[in-house]
Amino acid sequence: MSDRDKLLEDTAKDVRRLNQRERAPATWAGIAFYGGTVGLLFVVPVVGGAYLGRWLDSLASGYSVRWTVSLIVLGIALGAYNAYRFMKGRQ
Amino acid sequence: MNCFALHLHDSHGGDRFDDVVQFIAADGSGSFGILAGHARMLAVLRYGLARFVDSAGRWHFLSLPGGVMSFADNRLTLATVRYFLGDERAGICRQLEDEMARLDSDVHSSRATLTEIEHALLRRLGEMSGRMQEKAGK
């Protein structure tokens, strides 16, 4: 086999391999990993915000949930942005 | 987005891309990818397809008969005998065949021109030697 034929054959083989990989159905492990990552990216800022808000509220005199609610809302926004960026980057 | 520069060199010249995000190729041990900020590395690529994506998200495909790839100071340098660059994965094989056919045609026409030059040279030498013999005869 000449160098030229080998180049053509190996290139065609690599193209076929890439096409097959794209067409291959997603595995359960892959779906779980992807979903878990998106979930963590969303949940961690929300939970972090809630804990931080609760601690800040405990420093205030009397009953207060202002910081807790504010930081939970901020965490939801941050988590949604994180998840969006991750999903956009994977496309 | 972190980018690095890609310099391609072959016997016909080269190309340069300054906004490469990821480069994927294969050597004897298998396929690997390189991102910006990678440690210095050197690899001998195998025959086949390599690909890279720029900051706009466009994939470019390289068909090459092996080559030496080095990455240092956020610059990837690829030296090979000849590479073929394409933007469509599906069409790169056809593009490769077309390019090879064009190269064959160029080589064929160069050979034909060379043969013509040789014939003209021989004819001229024959004429000159004939004239010299005539002069010697006089």
How distant is the Cα of A19 from the closest Cα of chain B, in angstroms? 9
- The span from the CA of A15 to the CA of B52, in Å, is 14
Cβ neighbour number for residue B65 with a 10 Å cutoff: 20
pLDDT under 70 in chain B at which residues?
A: none
Q: Answer yes or no: do B138 and B97 share one domain.
A: yes
Q: What is the pLDDT of residues B5-44, one digit of tens each?
A: 999 999 888 999 999 999 999 998 999 999 999 999 999 9
- The span from the CA of B56 to the CA of B47, in Å, is 27
Say which residue, A91 or A63, is predicted with more confidence. Answer: A63
Task: Indicate the number of domains in chain B.
Answer: 2
Q: Report pLDDT for B75.
A: 94
Q: Is the ipTM of this complex over 0.85?
A: no
Q: Answer yes or no: do B78 and B29 share one domain.
A: yes
Buried b (16+ CB within 10 A) or exposed e, B28-37: eeeeeebebe
Say which residue, A23 or B104, is predicted with more confidence. Answer: B104
Task: Tell me if A11 and B48 make a contact (CB, 8 A cut-off).
Answer: yes
Q: Are A43 and B80 a contacting pair, CB within 8 Å? A: no
Q: Answer yes or no: do B122 and B137 share one domain.
A: yes
pLDDT reading at A1 higher than 80: no
What is the DSSP code (8-state) at residue B91? T
Q: Answer yes or no: do B63 and B81 share one domain.
A: yes
Q: Report pLDDT for A35.
A: 92
- The span from the CA of A84 to the CA of B1, in Å, is 16
Q: Answer yes or no: do B72 and B138 share one domain.
A: no
pLDDT reading at A24 higher than 80: no
Q: Answer yes or no: do B22 and B81 share one domain.
A: yes
Q: Answer yes or no: do B65 and B124 share one domain.
A: no
SS3 A34: helix
Q: Report pLDDT for B95.
A: 84
Return the residue of B nearest to A16 by Cα. B90
- The span from the CA of B37 to the CA of B39, in Å, is 6
Q: Answer yes or no: do B115 and B95 share one domain.
A: yes
Q: Report pLDDT for B51.
A: 93
SS3 B12: coil
What is the residue range of B98's domain?
90-138
Q: Does A16 lie at the interface with B, CB-CB under 8 angstroms? A: no
Q: Report pLDDT for A91.
A: 64
Q: Which of residues 38-67 of A touch B (CB under 8 A)?
A: none
CATH number of the domain at B61, please.
2.60.15.10
- The span from the CA of B16 to the CA of B11, in Å, is 15
Q: Answer yes or no: do B105 and B47 share one domain.
A: no
Q: Answer yes or no: do B25 and B73 share one domain.
A: yes
Q: Report pLDDT for B6.
A: 94
Phi, psi of B67 (to 5 degrees): 160, 170
Q: What is the pLDDT of residues A30-82, one digit of tens each?
A: 889 999 999 999 999 999 999 999 999 999 888 888 999 999 999 999 999 99
Q: Report pLDDT for B79.
A: 95
Q: Answer yes or no: do B82 and B94 share one domain.
A: no
Going from the C-alpha of A5 to that of each of B11, B38, B48, the distances in angstroms are 19, 34, 11
Task: Tell me if A11 and B96 make a contact (CB, 8 A cut-off).
Answer: yes
pLDDT reading at A25 higher than 80: no
What is the DSSP code (8-state) at residue A82? H
Q: Answer yes or no: do B103 and B82 share one domain.
A: no
Residues of B in contact with A4 (CB under 8 A): 100
pLDDT reading at A23 higher than 90: no
Say which residue, A69 or A89, is predicted with more confidence. Answer: A69
Q: Are A56 and A67 a contacting pair, CB within 8 Å? A: yes
Q: Are A15 and B63 a contacting pair, CB within 8 Å? A: no
